[in-house]
Structure 1
Amino acid sequence: MAIEIINQLINQDALAKPSKRIANQCKELAALVTRHTDGKGNGFHKTAIDKLEFTRESSIPAALHGVYQPVFCIVVQGKKEALLGDETYRYGEAQYLAISVDLPLSGFVVEATPDKPYLAFKLNLDPRQLCDIITAQTKPSASKKENSVRGLFVSTTDAPLLDCALRLTRLLDTPQDIPILAPMIIREIYYRLLIGEQGEAVCQIATSGSNMQRIAEVIKLIRADFAKPMRVEKLAEKANMSPSSFHHHFKEVTSMSPLQYQKQLRLLEARRLMLAENSDAANAAYQVGYESPSQFSREYSRMFGAPPIRDIERLRTA
């Protein structure tokens, strides 16, 4: 009995050590991100390493709406929410968010203060590099029927993945090492993602002919021509799927129908036109493909929480 109790305590200690290690790694990474963003204000901060950015928010800002491209983001301090269609994803310290296809999202920082700001490590993903690693694997997984997976997922970061993020961030203090060592560490991050619990989703980003890649190619077509009327049958043909199969897989990957996806692109672009180019609501609606100003106003209010004019005034004031 005593031996069993001792074994249980040993096992509990073994389980506790990784979590303590991860907490310490997050603390160290938070200190590095703080140092590299201190005095630069809130928002996204580019670094000397291509594709690497840091995020810092010292207060809870208004929601950020936009089309997010493939990215890997570790939260090292604070908490955030992402809204994809009707789904809400919550993630905080020592968790990561990965996006594998272009997705219209709303992002909300939900925990941040001046003394303890929201901090995140953000790496833009390159499907070609992922493909190289998949090709180099000597033991391909057993063939099985491929299921469509969501193009966004949240997982807990493990110690080896955090170690990669730390080593990559430390390179900013030795810029002469970046050209040689940064690509190696980024390649290791991709490898860690591929062998992690979300490996199937990451693998589909770069696997030729996968459902996710076929949907990703169609998404590019929608984004290039979102102001024009959509023909779902034509898009299904491009994806080499039947219309019903295409609709199913598109919704599995993006959490919304092709028409809903197009609508969000239109509204995001209309908002940009009004804010950045001083376009009025009627003209912005027409440019993104709306024929009915009243429909545009209703759908805009539903997405952004206020009619176009009021929303833009709020943004300009902020």
Structure 2
Amino acid sequence: MSDTMLEQQLLRLVENIAPDEGLNSTAIPSVFCYKISAPLFEMPAVYEPCLCIIIQGRKSVMLGKEMLSYGKMEFLVASVDLPIIGTVVEASEQQPYFVVQININASLLSEVMLKMEKLAVAKRKAKSGLFIGQVDPQMAASLQRLLSLLQTPEDIPVLAENVIGEMHYRMLRSNYGNDIAQISLQDTPTQRIALAIQKLRRDFDQTVAIDELAKMAGMSVSSFHVHFKAVTKMSPLQFQKSVRLVEARALMISQRMDAASTAYKVGYESPSQFSREYARMFGNPPARDIASIRL
């Protein structure tokens, strides 16, 4: 099958799988499809470890102060939890933005690595937790098998695990495979920073001491700062602040909480400080920002 035919088949499959605007869940719990029919303004979110493949359209993502862009038949891998500002830049009613998201299973990644002829090599320095690359014909064919499986639900209990494992294998065979593998290799700087990130993500509403995080990662405070910024492009305090603000926005949208109550719930001691930092990140104070979203 030619590359063009495969791309057309993937588009037909995802159009069927994602008929609704926004998030479309699938019968495989770790697989999601998004459909966006118009360019979006900046939407901060916290990505969990995942592989995202754009079938149609283009998106830009900002991690810290680093801006990346990817489009049709390109992939993004977030190897750790990361607060990201995403913007869909190419989408229309006629040609919606379609992306397939597959959550990364660290245990499955380790299992696949052990079966590979060429084992990943542990690195002494951490690198960015965000990667963008080109979908090769092999990864595209694996994705086609995964999306086709969703057309035959009776096959999912038997075959889904193998096909998801195949997608993990394709990630490891990509140009960034060795960097992605660092999250599953024991005692690499990336794997140890990932543990600290999980704590910050889990306890975002609490005060967490940097020396406690450094101790958890088995590093000195200075070394911890260097490796943490390499992975996330921000300091631990900036990371926690970004997570707090994203969680706050979600609470005000989904639970209609007011700004002051939300500020205290996500860990701020001062609603005024919360409003200032919220406006700095989202462009408007909380009430105005949420009102514009609802409109």
Same fold, TM-score > 0.5, yes or no: yes
Residues of 2 paired with 1:140 and 1:228: CA distance? Answer: 39
**Contact 1:22/1:158 (8 A) holds in 2:** no
Aligned residue for 2:35?
56
The TM-score, its normalising length taken from structure 2, stands at 0.94
Residues of 1 paired with 2:4 and 2:73: CA distance? Answer: 7
Aligned residue for 2:14?
33
Residue 201 in structure 1 maps to residue 183 in structure 2: no
The list of structure 1 runs, each at least 4 consecutive aligned residues, that deviate by more than 4 angstroms after superposition, is none
**Contact 2:59/2:90 (8 A) holds in 1:** yes
Aligned residue for 1:264?
242
The code of the aligned residue for 1:44 comes to L
2:194 to 190, 209, 216: 216
**Contact 1:21/1:159 (8 A) holds in 2:** no
**Contact 1:80/1:92 (8 A) holds in 2:** yes
Between stretches 306-315 and 280-289, larger displacement belongs to 280-289
CA offset at residue 138 of structure 1? 4.3
The code of the aligned residue for 2:161 comes to P
Structure with the higher helix share, 1 or 2: 1
Structure 1 unaligned blocks of 5 or more: 1-19
Aligned residue for 2:207?
229
2:49 to 48, 70, 89: 70
CA offset at residue 22 of structure 1? 3.2
User: SS of the residue aligned with 1:154?
Assistant: strand
Aligned residue for 1:80?
59
**Contact 1:70/1:101 (8 A) holds in 2:** yes
Residues of 2 paired with 1:28 and 1:199: CA distance? Answer: 26
User: SS of the residue aligned with 2:150?
Assistant: helix
Aligned residue for 1:137?
116
1:112 to 91, 94, 97: 91
**Contact 1:45/1:55 (8 A) holds in 2:** yes
Residues of 2 paired with 1:137 and 1:111: CA distance? Answer: 37
User: SS of the residue aligned with 1:146?
Assistant: coil
Q: Could you tell me the percent identity over the aligned residues?
A: 42
User: SS of the residue aligned with 1:289?
Assistant: coil
CA offset at residue 253 of structure 1? 0.6
Residues of 2 paired with 1:275 and 1:144: CA distance? Answer: 42
CA offset at residue 21 of structure 1? 3.6
The TM-score, its normalising length taken from structure 1, stands at 0.88
CA offset at residue 146 of structure 1? 2.5
CA offset at residue 32 of structure 1? 0.9
Aligned residue for 1:128?
107
Between stretches 167-176 and 249-258, larger displacement belongs to 167-176
Aligned residue for 1:6?
none
Residue 94 in structure 1 maps to residue 73 in structure 2: yes
User: SS of the residue aligned with 2:94?
Assistant: coil
User: SS of the residue aligned with 1:106?
Assistant: strand
1:180 to 158, 162, 165: 158
CA offset at residue 246 of structure 1? 0.5
Residues of 1 paired with 2:123 and 2:51: CA distance? Answer: 26
User: SS of the residue aligned with 1:160?
Assistant: helix
Aligned residue for 1:292?
270
Deviations 1:61-111 (A, max 9, x none): 333222110111111111111111111110000100111111111211110
Residues of 2 paired with 1:145 and 1:284: CA distance? Answer: 41
Q: How many residues align structurally?
A: 295
**Contact 1:27/1:76 (8 A) holds in 2:** no
CA offset at residue 144 of structure 1? 6.3
User: SS of the residue aligned with 1:54?
Assistant: strand
Aligned residue for 2:284?
306
1:281 to 249, 255, 259: 259
**Contact 1:23/1:94 (8 A) holds in 2:** no
Residues of 1 paired with 2:118 and 2:220: CA distance? Answer: 33
Residues of 1 paired with 2:122 and 2:60: CA distance? Answer: 33
User: SS of the residue aligned with 1:48?
Assistant: coil
